[in-house]
Amino acid sequence: MNKEKILEVKNLKQHFQTGRKSVVKAVDGISFDIYRGETFGLVGESGCGKSTTGRTIIRLYDATSGEVTFNGIDVHGTKSKKDLKKFNRQMQMIFQDPYASLNPRMTVKEIILEGIQIHGLIKSETEKMERVEALLETVGLNKEHATRYPHEFSGGQRQRIGIARALAVDPEFIIADEPISALDVSIQAQVVNLMKELQEEHGLTYLFIAHDLSMVKYISDRIAVMYFGKIVELADSEELYKNPLHPYTNSLLSAIPLPDPDFERTRERTIYDPTQHDTEDAEFREVKPGHWVLCTEEEYKAYQDK
Amino acid sequence: MDPILDVRNLHVSFDTYGGTVQAVRGVDFALKKGETLAIVGESGSGKSVTTKALMGLVAKPAGHIPKGEILFDGKDLTKLSNKEMQKIRGKDMSMIFQDPMTSLNPTMKIGKQIMEGLILHQKLSKKEARNRAIELLDLVGIPDSTKRIDQYPHQFSGGMRQRVVVAIALACNPKVLIADEPTTALDVTIQAQILELMKDIQKKMDTSIIFITHDLGVVANVADRVAVMYAGKIVEVGTVDDIFYNPKHPYTWGLLGSMPTVDGNDEKLIAIPGTPPDLMNPPKGDAFAARNEYAMQIDLEEEPPLFKVSDTHYAATWLLHDDAPKVEPPEAVKKRMKGNISAGEENRS
């Protein structure tokens, strides 16, 4: 794979002030790189900060501290309106809830065209219509759908509209925040297949945020596991599943129910106990090439022998 | 042994401005004592409506039961008045809902919510009910129960709230427990805890459980038997091994094939094309025909009956007819059928 970095996140922190003295450290110093053309999975349980990470990267929140570099440019640095527009075009987002993320008072055509209009990409009306029709076809809908409103569609179809909207401005990088969690199993497969196809055709890079580990494993090249605002493990998806090192990753993997009754009958769940190891001195260390774990010096040595 | 609950040819319809929606179109099943029956299917397949009918919770007057019987304890539940039904609901049959935030009353302390059923059905005094509620909280694994009983739902996490809902459902030792996607809103580790809790309690109390879910992993974990629903009908029913290792219906193949395996192959997922049919005008013949790549001419004309595969296993597809061509399930499904566990999973266990 071409190892050009498209996104670099360095020691990113996102703290929310929730009272005069209380601060929620939703994201607490995480670092990772995403390479062009890959799918980077970010998993963790609710409240671990995975969505906040995605939203901070795309500037929906201003970072408390740390650095996000996209195509060599600092995302959170002050920018002119023009630069900001350019950035927004390159990075798009697909949201979890296809019911809440589409404006119910806009037609599908208006929803898809909004970005194109803001960026002034296409001027003529006929070309705009052609573009909308082409996009609808790309995501598996047909042109008759352009004049309809979101409520006329099923969940899976709505998510396709959300994808068409994201694609409209020809982005390089798409953040998909739980894009399939609200959908039925058979429809999930349709949407995931579509996202994979689009990635091949358009050379997209994805940050795929989810809690469904089996789907993340299926779609991602590399996966980072988050726990309480920190990344505890990062590795190639194959390596992460075959050789999970951090005890939290282990417990998370052991909790996924698999569609295999014999396996389920014999399954032993491991329970993660955060008090078992020292989290104060833990640092993010590369145990094997490409396999990073949050651990102490002692654990680091133990992991290397594994 | 006689089944504890016997559902025969159940139909449920809803009148809407656009016409009548036939949400459930002839469902038969029996629930035995102490077993867990999982009902799986997509949203709109009628699985939730079926269980709502069992509990007498089909909203009238729009919803009604034009045909069918629900036999429980020698009574047909469809014939009971609302008042008679109230005596059964929460006592002999109780329900756990998907979203623990909306199924608890935010303005009532959880202790009071647990005690309600005990005072009403078991005629306990307030004090007895309170003691029993504390026992129940201990049973479902809520620490510090004497203090927690006086707290409100918002003071509990999602998993803890669902434990409270389980405690309410179990308060009167029901014979039948209906769980409608009880873990869908929860994280995997919390889901595992709740599933373990339900199995544990089932063992202690010999409760029969109807478990509705669309997560086949969860089904493999909890179920003894599985009923697959599509467009208001059961299209395949069998033991959990029948369904996972020897599925016969193309819809079941589709459901199994659309779940990624964790063993690292990069094959395309088998998505079931299209969407479920409109139940206002159910299609002629097999309702699944339009999405079924194995559909034959007869599927468009006549509905398949339930063919017997074995004593425990039935499937409604013409593919099982003697005259049908022999069709092999897709590769991805066949791989599961052997039930082999891949290297990655072995590593995990």
Confidence category of residue B25, pLDDT binned at 50, 70, 90: very high
Question: Do A256 and B343 make contact, defined as CB atoms within 8 angstroms?
Answer: no
Q: How far apart are CA B296 and CA A182, in angstroms?
A: 33
Alpha carbon of B189: minimum distance to chain A alpha carbons (Å): 5
Q: How confident is the model at residue B341, as a pLDDT?
A: 41
Average confidence (pLDDT) over B332-342:
62
Decide: A208 and A196 in contact? Cβ < 8 Å. Answer: no
DSSP-assigned beta bridge partners for residue A67: A10
The shortest C-alpha distance from A66 to chain B (Å) reads 29
* pLDDT value of position B264: 54
The Cα–Cα gap between B33 and B50 comes to 19
pLDDT at B155 over 80: yes
Handedness of CA B118, B124, B130, B135 (dihedral sign): negative
Q: Which of B260, B275, B339 sits opposite A217 (nearest CB)?
A: B260
**Residue B346 in contact with partner chain A when CB distance is under 8 A:** no
The amino acid occupying position A69 is T
For the stretch B279-313, pLDDT in tens is 888 888 899 998 898 999 999 999 999 999 999 99
Contacts with A, B 36-65, CB within 8 Å: 42-43
B188–chain A Cβ distance below 8 A for any pair: yes
Q: What is the C-alpha separation between B210 and B51, in angstroms, rounded?
A: 8
The confidence score (pLDDT) of residue A183 equals 79
State the pLDDT at residue A201.
92
Best of B246, B345, B346 to substitute, by most chain A Cβ atoms within 10 angstroms, is: B345
- Quick: pLDDT tens for B233-288: 999 999 999 999 999 999 999 998 888 776 655 567 878 888 788 888 888 889 99
Distance from CA of B33 to the nearest CA of A (A): 20
- Contact list, B196 vs chain A (CB under 8 Å): 269
Cβ B42–A185 below 8 Å, yes or no?
yes
- List pLDDT tens digits, range A230-277: 999 999 999 999 999 999 999 998 888 888 888 888 888 888 888 777
Distance CA B48, CA B24 (A): 10
**Is the model more confident about B325 or about A39?**
A39
Beta-bridged to residue B314, according to DSSP, are B237, B308
Residues 233-252 on B with a CB inside 8 Å of A are 240-241, 244-245
DSSP-assigned beta bridge partners for residue A231: A226
Beta strand B225-230 with B36-40 is: parallel
What domains are defined for chain B?
A: 5-223 (3.40.50.300), 229-348 (3.40.50.300)
Confidence of residue B13 (pLDDT cuts 50, 70, 90): very high
Q: Which residues of B touch A196 (CB under 8 A)?
A: 268
Q: Is B81 on the interface with A (CB under 8 A)?
A: no
Q: What are the DSSP E strand ranges found in A77-203?
A: 91-94, 173-177
Contacts of B47 in chain A (CB under 8 A): none
CA distances in angstroms from B14 to A152, A177, B111, B277, listed in the order given: 20, 36, 36, 16
Q: What is the pLDDT of residues B256-265, one digit of tens each?
A: 888 877 665 5
Nearest CA in chain B to A154: B275
Q: To the nearest whole percent, how much of chain B has pLDDT over 70? A: 94
Q: Give the one of A187, A255, A260 whose C-beta lies nearest to B192's C-beta.
A: A255
Hey, what CATH topology would domain A5-228 get? Rossmann fold (3.40.50)
Domain residue limits, chain A: 5-228, 246-306
CA distance A47 to chain B (A): 10
pLDDT exceeding 90 applies to what percent of chain B? Answer: 57
Inter-chain touch A217–B264, beta carbons under 8 Å: yes
Interchain contact B270–A (C-beta under 8 A): yes
B160 Cβ contact list (under 8 Å, min separation 6) = B142
Contact (CB, 8 A) for A294 and A286: no
Q: Look at residue B348 in the predicted model and tell me its pLDDT.
A: 40
Three-state SS for B263-281 is CCCCCCCCCCCCCCCCCCC
Q: Which residues of A touch B275 (CB under 8 A)?
A: 154, 156-157, 187
Report pLDDT digits (tens) over A118-154: 998 988 999 999 999 999 998 988 888 999 999 888 8
Please answer yes or no on whether B269 and A266 come within 8 Å at the CB atom: no
Q: What is the pLDDT of residue A231?
A: 94
Average pLDDT score, chain B: 88
Q: What is the dihedral of CA B129, B133, B139, B145, to 10 degrees?
A: -140
CB–CB of B42 and A186 under 8 A? yes
Would you state the structure tokens that stand for residue A7, as one six-digit string?
Answer: 């996104």
Averaged over successive runs of 10 residues, the pLDDT of chain A (306 residues) comes to: 84 89 89 95 89 92 92 84 88 88 94 93 92 91 90 87 93 93 80 91 94 86 94 94 92 87 86 76 88 89 82
Q: Would you call A188 and B258 a contact, using CB atoms and an 8 Å cutoff?
A: yes
